[in-house]
Structure 1
Amino acid sequence: MEHVSTTTLITILIVMIIVSAYFSASETGMMTLNRYRLRHLAKQGNRAARRVEKLLKRPDRLISLVLIGNNLVNILASALATIVGIRLYGNAGVALATGILTFIVLVFAEVLPKTFAALYPERVAFPSSIMLLPLQKIMMPLVWLLNGITNILLRMFGIRSNVRPSDAVSKEELRTIVNESQSQISRRNQDMLISVLDLEKVNVDDIMVPRNEIVGIDINDDWKSILRQLTHSPHGRIVLYRDSLDDIIGMLRVREAYRLMIEKKEFNKENLIRAADEIYYIPESTHLSVQLLKFQRNKEKVGIVVDEYGDIKGLISVEDILEEIVGDFTTSMSPSLAEEVLPQSDGSVLVDGTANIRELNKAFNWNLPSDGPRTINGLLLEELEDIPLPDTRVTIGHYNIDILDVQDNMIRQVKVTTALAPHQ
């Protein structure tokens, strides 16, 4: 290169550093792209996203292409810098050129472009794909050769080279994605999405209406009492039974009963029984996610929950499952959690004994045991194995629970204090 001027060599050297920076930025930008956003943009018809997605289908080929380009220009830049150094400073110029070039490459061809690409991957990856895609086709023989040698070496060490990383995410990873998307998704929608993921962790017996709270009509009651219950029912469906819930007749749709009142001259017990639908039974261990699909598949809205012996445990409806996702409906006749708790200024919380433990854990980020009894009253009775007196304190985990009121063999109100809260 004796006939090439020093100015030309320096110009070529600068171009090599720029090209090296391009390859470095392209590699970092491609590898740090949000794959889910990329897939979304590609489905929306974004051409740049489609080009990048095509390149990333074979990341091994893309990395080989970038490394080949990067190493070629870096080696060429090193040779040119050595020639320029010798021309300007003689033998001492070799060391000087090596030091200066190392600094320039690290700053301007590595750290700076890679940092920018990591911060703004789309602004780097999308434009760079315009050159990388045709360049990959041109250099495919060299890329293929390099990958072939690499794969042979990997097999020698017992490493499979045909393994492709999966883009699928687990439920816990999806939960993390939802929790970290606060700038894109409102808090309420985040809670709903998390609740959907939690459906598989909750059984129907965790949210069912317990047996003693099931609204039903005893068909053996006098006719006036039955009519009064029908006309004042807050529910769309009512259980019909004889004497007790152990002898259930069916599930009566109140709207159907009203239709019978209008259309039939003889509106009596026999017609009411005939209008009742067959009971839909649900095992108590069924997960909510499964039961929601079963309600849809069987075209049912309400079911009776039974244990392994066939005994009735409670009742669950589609609305109960939906409330687990979106929160309590305003039409719910049951008391809301806000009506059952009263936070105190000292950090403690007054809680009704009938409050649901799972709802308390969700609302206050507590960790009270929820795999047994459903209510605070049931939890304390199980813990004490006796009906306590007022002013009794029970410690469960990190929670001090002071029993304030006991009536009719039931704990009516307690005061819950966490270990982190001051207690007076």
Structure 2
Amino acid sequence: MFILSLALAAAAAIWGVPWKLAAGLNIGFLLLSFADLAFLPKSSQIRLKRRVPEEMERGLPADVGIEIENHSQLPLTLRIIDDLSDSFARPFPLKRKLAGNTRGTVQYETAASIRGHYTLNRIYIRCSSFLGLWEKQMVKEAESQVKVIPDLTETRRYLENAQSYLLYEGEKIRRQQSGAGEFSKIRAYAPGDDPRKINWRQTAKLQEVMANVHEPEHGKYVTIMIDCGRIMGAELETGNRLEKALEAAMTTAAAALKNGDYVSVLAFSKDIQSYVPPSKGMQHLNFILKALYSIQADAAESNYSGAFQYLQSVQNKRSLLLLFSDVRTFTLEEGALVYLKRIRQRHLFFMLGIEDNILSARAKDRPDTIKSAMLKSMAQQQILIAKREKLRWEKQGLQMAEAPEGGLAAAAVSHYINVLNRGLL
């Protein structure tokens, strides 16, 4: 407004407009401006309420709604900014027009890149006057709690169709459980089923290949260990190593709980971060999720020896011990070998890590230049060292494997099913 008044005065001076006319224009503009100011509603006449889901999955979009109540007689033109953390997508400002004495809703889509518990405290709004000469800024208190949990896409895929999940994703096992257990039902034969389970009588009767289904033995114990140390904070194409480990752990836990087995979870870094005692039933998956959703990668190195020592004190029954960590880092931890030799006498140990895509790509590069040849040689040397260390541990009866970033969950579930099929527990 002040700038426009100066502009009118400058124009009057340049073009020789009489000062009385210029002053009249200025006064008229000021009166119009103050009249427009009267069309701004009071802060108490605007009420806002946020509708946000209690839980959001990391990286997946979620809808948030802001309900607006205009208790004034005046129409509103609003710009809205919600109090989201920087780890959320922020499609602001939101714009909304609302007539007098009406209600409305403005919606937006957001996604969080970092897990954890978040508190959304305020909503910031700017309300424009009728002519747009004035804007009033308001801050509305609207506290909401949001939990950002791991991405459960892999878990849902397994629960929706376990056979299909193992058939197209699993690298070690491409069939469902079969063999031991009581007879359950007869169903259509599916690719990956054991041919020995074909029911020839029903096949001849129905003119369709049918197979017997046996209920697997229940009540086995599965212990999932999740490394939360420094190396697990290494970034991948989507998230970091810890994110993929958590997603794989939740999928494996869901598979075991669906099968009627007991599942316990231990998360550790330098110290024990969380421990969920063994229990069964799908409701136990919620307890595991509640204990793990806010865990972050620690800046300190992992204390494997301390974690195994703690595990020995809380887990006495024989179980499949599944460790999610970095294979190369773990094989250099000589102190853990002492505890693992004891644990191996009671538990069935298996470790899963994520392949180093950069190292593998370097090892496959064409040596077109001296630099590329040196990089290729160094990458191949590192791979050979890792294989040698891995073989040394496997000779102690400690199995290890690496899987692609997107196949970690499938590899873990496939190994679990393989263990059950072979009756190793």
TM-score interval w.r.t. the shorter chain? under 0.3
Higher relative contact order (CA 8 A, sep 6+): 2
**Structure with a larger share of its residues in helix:** 1
TM-score if structure 2 supplies the norm length?
A: 0.25
